[in-house]
């Protein structure tokens, strides 16, 4: 299977990257809650997966994958995945979703808190009797401590809600793959920052990047990212092809004859591990300065840690892949 992006997909990603490079820099991350959101809305980012009858483009997840990776690379704050990927499936008829005027966040099954609920107009909450839709006016938010200040967590209580007709599992499956794409972008940026620093920082009369021990660690990160990226692409292809089932907290696996859940679990595990490794190596490469609040590196460190845990961690998704294989799902990748 060819996992290369098409020219149109790359052009879309380049547009998103240009917008984020101009409007989602570290200084904007420090000063604004939702930098670049209005600009992304202007170029149609939030309508990529929204059906055409709701003023969207109706594209598949694969088409948006490279653009989603760019949002991770830029550490874009806000409920990006939930609004741009999960909401078009769960709430296809909601007005102004494609324009980005309505923001959505999700509390998956087993999750205690809602990310970015402070800027969400609608909150989807998993309940034993099915998913419920909560409006901002009906919700009471209590801030909770989290590792990522650009992705704050909130406890959500509410006085009123309405049931959703569509199953939450399929939306979570899409969100899992989209989050994996963001993690690939985060890992790539962490690697870039580490390489830049290793070239500039000198010790014992030479750049630290010339030392074999540093080279090996950076190479390990590059290998991990190169391994994760095609798994994420494969998972997006499976989702677009209509694979179903359950695997991991993200929802989806090998049940029902589909493979999307298994592929999504493999992608999220690999991408989460790649980002976590990139974060660890970045800290070791930068040394003590890497732990400081003033260094821009901290944005990507926090995002790697927070997204690695979102929609299920690596251990959970590895267990889901193992269960899928042992249950008889032995189809090989083409």
Rounded CA separation 297/258 (Å): 39
Q: What is the pLDDT of residue 13?
A: 98
Rounded CA separation 328/147 (Å): 38
Q: What is the pLDDT of residue 301?
A: 98
Q: Are strands 139-144 and 153-158 parallel, antiparallel or unpaired?
A: antiparallel
Q: What is the pLDDT of residue 67?
A: 99
DSSP notation for 63-88: HHHHHHHHHHHTT--SSHHIIIIIHH
End-to-end CA, the chain: 6
Q: Kindly give the parts of the chain with pLDDT less than 50.
A: 245-257, 334
Question: pLDDT (tens digit, 9 = 90+) per residue, 10-32?
Answer: 999 999 999 999 999 999 999 99
Please indicate, yes or no, if residue 72 is contained in any of the structural domains: no
Please indicate, yes or no, if residue 260 is contained in any of the structural domains: yes
Closest CA to 39 of 57, 26, 55, 21: 21
Task: Show the tokens assigned to 297.
Answer: 């590196």
Please indicate, yes or no, if residue 314 is contained in any of the structural domains: yes
The domain containing residue 200 runs over which residues?
168-243+256-327
Rounded CA separation 197/191 (Å): 10
Helices (H), the chain: 7-23, 26-31, 37-42, 61-73, 80-81, 87-90, 168-200, 212-240, 260-286, 297-309, 314-326
Closest CA to 182 of 93, 278, 92: 278
**Integer angstrom CA distances of residue 38 from 11, 35, 44, 47:** 20, 8, 10, 13
Q: Please, what is the average pLDDT of the chain?
A: 92
Please indicate, yes or no, if residue 229 is contained in any of the structural domains: yes
Q: What is the pLDDT of residue 327?
A: 85
Rounded CA separation 109/96 (Å): 27
Question: pLDDT (tens digit, 9 = 90+) per residue, 286-302?
Answer: 999 999 999 999 999 99
- Threshold 0.85, pTM exceeds: yes
Q: What is the pLDDT of residue 258?
A: 60
Q: Which residues pair with 104 in a beta bridge?
A: 122
Please indicate, yes or no, if residue 63 is contained in any of the structural domains: no
- The distance of Cα 26 from the centroid of its chain, to the nearest Å, equals 19
Q: What is the pLDDT of residue 242?
A: 84
- CATH number of the domain that residue 219 is part of: 1.20.140.10
DSSP notation for 160-191: --EE-SS-HHHHHHHHHHHHHHHHHHHHHHHH
Q: What is the pLDDT of residue 255?
A: 33
Q: What is the pLDDT of residue 206?
A: 95
The total domain count for the chain is 1
Q: Are strands 122-125 and 104-107 parallel, antiparallel or unpaired?
A: parallel
Residue 272 and residue 265 in contact, taking contact as beta carbons nearer than 8 Å:
no
Please indicate, yes or no, if residue 187 is contained in any of the structural domains: yes
Q: Which residues pair with 106 in a beta bridge?
A: 124
């Amino acid at each position: 299977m060819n996992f290369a992006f098409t020219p149109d997909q790359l052009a879309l990603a380049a547009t998103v990257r240009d917008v984020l490079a101009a409007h989602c820099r570290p200084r904007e991350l420090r000063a604004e809650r939702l930098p670049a959101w209005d600009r992304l809305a202007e170029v149609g980012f939030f309508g990529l997966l929204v059906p055409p009858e709701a003023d969207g483009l109706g594209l598949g997840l694969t088409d948006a994958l490279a653009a989603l990776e760019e949002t991770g690379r830029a550490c874009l704050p806000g409920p990006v995945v939930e609004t741009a990927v999960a909401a078009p499936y769960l709430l296809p008829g909601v007005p102004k979703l494609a324009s980005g005027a309505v923001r959505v966040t999700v509390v998956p099954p087993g999750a205690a808190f809602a990310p970015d609920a402070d800027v969400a107009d609608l909150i989807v909450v998993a309940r034993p009797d099915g998913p419920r839709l909560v409006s901002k006016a009906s919700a009471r938010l209590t801030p909770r401590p989290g590792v990522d200040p650009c992705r704050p967590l909130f406890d959500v209580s509410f006085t009123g809600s309405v049931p959703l007709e569509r199953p939450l599992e399929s939306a979570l499956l899409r969100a899992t793959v989209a989050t994996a794409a963001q993690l690939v972008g985060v890992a790539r940026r962490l690697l870039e920052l580490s390489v830049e620093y290793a070239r500039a920082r000198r010790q014992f009369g030479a750049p630290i990047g010339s030392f074999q021990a540093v080279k090996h660690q950076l190479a390990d990160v590059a290998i991990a990212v190169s391994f994760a990226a095609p798994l994420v692409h494969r998972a997006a292809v499976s989702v677009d092809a209509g694979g179903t089932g359950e695997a991991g907290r993200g929802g989806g696996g090998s049940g029902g004859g589909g493979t999307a859940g298994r592929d999504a679990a493999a992608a999220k595990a690999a991408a989460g591990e790649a980002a976590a490794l990139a974060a660890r190596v970045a800290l070791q490469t930068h040394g003590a300065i890497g732990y400081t609040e003033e260094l821009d590196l901290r944005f990507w460190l926090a995002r790697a840690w927070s997204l690695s845990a979102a929609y299920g961690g690596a251990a959970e998704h590895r267990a889901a892949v193992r269960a899928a294989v042992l249950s008889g799902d032995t189809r090989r990748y083409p």
